[in-house]
Chains A and B, each alone.
Chain A
Amino acid sequence: MEQILEMVNIVKTFPGVVANNKVSFEVRKREIHALVGENGAGKTTLMNILYGLYKPDGGDIIIAGEKTSIDSPIVAIEKGIGLVAQHFMLIEPLTVAENIILGLETRKNKIFTDMRKANQKVKELSELYGLEVDPTARIMDISVGVQQRVEILKILYREAQILILDEPTAVLTPQETKELYKVLFSLKEMGKSVVFITHKLNEVMDISDRVTVLRGGKAIGTVNTSETDATQLASMMVGREVLMRVKKEGKKLGEAVLELRKVSAVDSRKLPALKNVSLEIRAGEILGIAGVQGNGQTELVEVLTGLRKATSGEVMLKGDSIINKNSRSIRELRVAHIPEDRNKRGLILDYDVADNLILGPHYKPPFTYRGKRNLQNVWQNARNLIAEFDIRTPSYDTKAETLSGGNQQKIVVARELGGDISLLVVSQPTRGLDIGTIEFIHKRILELRDKGVAILLVSAELTEIMSLSDRIAVMYDGNIVGILQDEEAKEEQIGMMMTGISKVDALRGEESD
């Protein structure tokens, strides 16, 4: 097969890190090439170099047999390269179509933006590739899954031949992921090449033709997907054997820790988002919330953690009402919270690692005594957690901003799981993490459960929900459609319930299948 792109001996260093250490990487025409590696292995850096966002310290990029220097995305686009960055490059107040045409606008009379034509074109593109979007919707009003489609359309609109997708599935629901697969296959059929970064090895096995593994900034090797399996890839990535699924002990249920009675709330646009939700979680149990994003999970978590006011209902924590209390008083009652969006809610990127690791209990001993901070204790805490959770950082006084996404998430997890808690509210705890880290975090969550902590787990990752939860509640349109016991939960059934079909109907549908 024709090789259309080659990166040779790419070197890139950041202060304190060699992010890419003589990495070589090639892409062929009409292939889906997976790029895998642990958090911080250097995947994103390598792709940013390819797209002209970073300047490499050494190495060559050869496109169509010709040595090329890509010093800006403009050149990259010219060369047919398109990048979907993991942190979306979308402008929130603009519409879908406006985002797509940005930089390559359709024009009317040479002066005006021809939005009619743009909408038309986006519609056509979206039909052609099966990426359904509403061209006139504003980015801030659409779900992440749709935003992802917009990103892909953006590069297709630029007629990219090589599409780089940096962890595209991290934020997608299983259905959305399936749809994305279809799109990628059809792109391949049309002769395009795809570089696909992911941490999910089943995805690698499902869709890629070849896999390149990075570890610690070095390329470990490239293999044909058909000649490998997940276990082998995992050990290539991590350098050791990895359990692909954690083992769960039988549960020892305690008293009810959290009770919700008919809780309702509105979202940021003042539309009803939670509708009379009732739930109960007992000590030593993990309640998983499954559901397509945007069906009230966010609001549910926010109400529980004091970040959003409920409009009606009651929330009891071990017999105390906590409804509409502020988040500090709720935290005071030994509630920990891992928020879904680490950059927005979980971290202060400008703070160093140590300061991020105390966010929450920062105001009380041992970190603060009578208003004065005890930095020795802050640092000691950081050293302990960095070691315990294997956070890869040059030092505890490194800004969180410069860590890789995975290590940023570990900060949040380490902080929230580190203390003495009775209820853990956790959203998307492993989004974007590598398998080794996922394994580690899952183990920690189960340990907490076994210690008698009540856990509310929200995840878009069905496998995660299914492997950790003792009971699974499915949410749809602000309601709990039904609650399944661990044993009765099947992926297909949950999937049906996620579209609003009731538990009974879902079970029946299953039988009739």
Chain B
Amino acid sequence: MTNTRKGKCAKYFEVALYPVIATCLALLVGVIIMLVTGHNPVDAYLALFEGAFGSSVAIAETLSRSTPLFLTGLAVAFAFKCGLFNIGVEGQLHVGAMAAAVVGCYLTGLPAIAHIPLTLLAAAVVAGIWAGVPGYLKARFRTHEVINTIMMNHIAIALVSYLVVHVFRAPGVIPRTSTILPSAQLYRFIEFSRLNIGLFMAMIALYLIYYLLWKTNVGYEIRAVGHNDKAAECAGINVKRNIVMAMVISGMLGGLAGAERIMGLHLSFIQGFSPGYGFEGIAVALLGRNHPLGILFSAILFGALANGGFRMSMATAVPTDLATVIQAVVVFFVAAEQLAKLFIKRRKKGRLAE
């Protein structure tokens, strides 16, 4: 027993070690790119670090950037656990955000303690239904969810664009809804940072999804369907219901991500507010091995790279686009863990030879 526990620790250590080494290797590649293009890598990386973790505000802002990614990453991972590739989180995030903006703005006279949960609920429900459609189509007609979620991304963005311009637009030239009521705003608890209690909501979601997947019957069945739907069916599991449910829950998570942006960051639905949180969620989920703990770290990595890279481009002459390139390289290396393994093996061999 103790033996396996030790083994598990070692396994976790290894699992954690590879991404660290991979990130280092990627940054090394970044150094080369910067030297070739005539930038000072030391300054650049100092700025990168400063932007990501350099101060409490920087850390808070990094976590703020990561907050939607925890949720979109979870959304993608959850669907994956049921064998579904949800590329539609971006759309679900949009409809969820719009629902949050509307409920946050027009549902008056409620105390925050009621208004916030109701607003979140609205976002989750609307986005859940939105994601449930491709889930239902998959379960009922066996149509591929990848097509339908891609299509529904476009439909969602067109739809919210219509709503924000023609239905719920606040006066003025900006395509956005009115500011949501204070009772629906997520409390910001660090001065000069937009980090808000949405972070805790995301943490709770991470834990709940972990719990749901591994400690409850629902999770057992969803994973069973994901691994082998035929065997699941044979064991009396309702495959179709699980597919729809997995998509709905996935969509709800995406919707919550959108709600957090609206209720904690922008305070109204602004057209184009998402730089692609839903798509980033795909990488976050898979980089995190579809496991909540992994997602926790990969989302922070993405948040740190986004903010640090941006700081780098602001504070040094390194252009934004180069920062983006370095981000891509990091993702490459972290994904290609075999490369890190190769590196470790070489080291080990080298040591043995000594």
Contacts and interface: CB of A to CB of B under 8 A. Distances in A.
A503 interface: no
Given A349-B228, A371-B216, A395 B4 contact: yes
B218 A348 contact: no
A106 interface: no
Interface of B: 4, 215-218, 220-221, 223-224, 227-228, 230-238
Interface string A347-384: 11111000100011011000010011101000000000
A331 interface: yes
Nearest to A395: B4
Contacts of A345: 230-231, 234
A351 B220 CA distance: 10
A363 B217 contact: yes
B234 A326 contact: no
A375 B215 CA distance: 8
Nearest to A358: B220
Contact of A355 (B220, B230, B238): B220
Interface in A300-352: 305-307, 326-328, 330-331, 337, 339, 344-351
A350 B82 CA distance: 13
Contacts of A331: 236
A494 to B, nearest CB: 28
B241 to A, nearest CB: 10
Contact of B231 (A305, A306, A347, A373): A347
Contacts of B224: 348, 351, 359
Contacts of B237: 328
Nearest to B215: A373
A368 B236 CA distance: 15
B231 A362 contact: no
Contacts of B236: 306, 326-328, 330-331, 360, 363
Nearest to A375: B215
22 contacts: A326-B238, A327-B234, A328-B238, A344-B230, A345-B231, A345-B234, A346-B231, A346-B234, A347-B231, A348-B232, A349-B227, A355-B220, A359-B231, A360-B235, A362-B221, A363-B220, A363-B236, A368-B217, A371-B218, A372-B216, A395-B4, A397-B4
A351 B228 CA distance: 10
Contact of B234 (A337, A350, A371, A375): A337
A331 B216 CA distance: 21
Contacts of A346: 231, 234
A348 B228 CA distance: 6
Interface in A105-152: none
Given A351-B224, A359-B224, A373 B216 contact: yes
Q: Looking at chain B's contact residues, is the secondary structure mostly helix, strand, loop, or mixed?
A: helix
A290 to B, nearest CB: 23
A355 B216 CA distance: 12
A395 to B, nearest CB: 7
Nearest to A374: B215
Interface in A170-226: none
A359 B217 CA distance: 11
- Specify which of A348, A350, A397 lies most central, judged by the most chain B CB atoms within 10 Å of its CB: A348
Given A351-B224, A355-B220, A359-B224, A372 B234 contact: no
A333 to B, nearest CB: 11
A346 B233 CA distance: 10
B230 A362 contact: no
A331 B220 CA distance: 18
A307 B230 CA distance: 9
B233 A307 contact: yes
B233 to A, nearest CB: 6
B39 to A, nearest CB: 45
Interface of A: 305-307, 326-328, 330-331, 337, 339, 344-351, 355, 359-360, 362-363, 368, 371-373, 375, 395, 397
B228 A305 contact: no
A118 B228 CA distance: 36
Given A347-B228, A348-B227, A351-B224, A373 B234 contact: no
Contact of B217 (A337, A360, A371): A371
The 3 closest A-B pairs by CB, nearest first: A328-B236, A350-B227, A368-B217
Given A326-B238, A347-B228, A348-B227, A373 B220 contact: yes
A368 B216 CA distance: 8
A60 B218 CA distance: 50
Contact of A351 (B227, B230, B238): B227
Contacts of A339: 234
Nearest to A327: B236
A346 B227 CA distance: 12
Contacts of B223: 351
A344 B232 CA distance: 10
A337 to B, nearest CB: 7
A350 B217 CA distance: 17
A458 B24 CA distance: 59
Contacts of B217: 362-363, 368, 371-373
A68 B227 CA distance: 39
Given A348-B232, A351-B224, 16 more contacts: A307-B233, A326-B236, A328-B238, A337-B234, A344-B230, A348-B224, A350-B228, A355-B220, A362-B217, A368-B216, A368-B217, A371-B216, A372-B215, A372-B217, A373-B216, A397-B4
Contacts of B4: 395, 397
A355 B4 CA distance: 18
A373 B211 CA distance: 10
A345 to B, nearest CB: 4
Nearest to B1: A395
A307 B233 CA distance: 7
Nearest to A344: B230
Contacts of A351: 223-224, 227
Contact of A348 (B215, B231, B238): B231
A331 B233 CA distance: 12
B346 to A, nearest CB: 19
Given A305-B234, A327-B233, A346-B231, A362 B218 contact: no
B220 A344 contact: no
A506 B301 CA distance: 74
B172 to A, nearest CB: 49
Contacts of A355: 220
Contacts of A362: 217, 220-221, 235
Nearest to A397: B4
A429 B230 CA distance: 18
Chain A CB within 10 Å, residue with most, of B216, B221, B227, B228? B228
Q: Considering residues B216, B218, B224, B234, which has the most beta carbons from chain A within 10 angstroms of its beta carbon?
A: B234
A345 B234 CA distance: 6
B313 to A, nearest CB: 43
A361 to B, nearest CB: 9
Contacts of B234: 305, 307, 327, 337, 339, 345-346
A360 B215 CA distance: 17
A107 B58 CA distance: 64
A345 B233 CA distance: 8
A372 B230 CA distance: 24
B108 to A, nearest CB: 37
Nearest to B232: A348
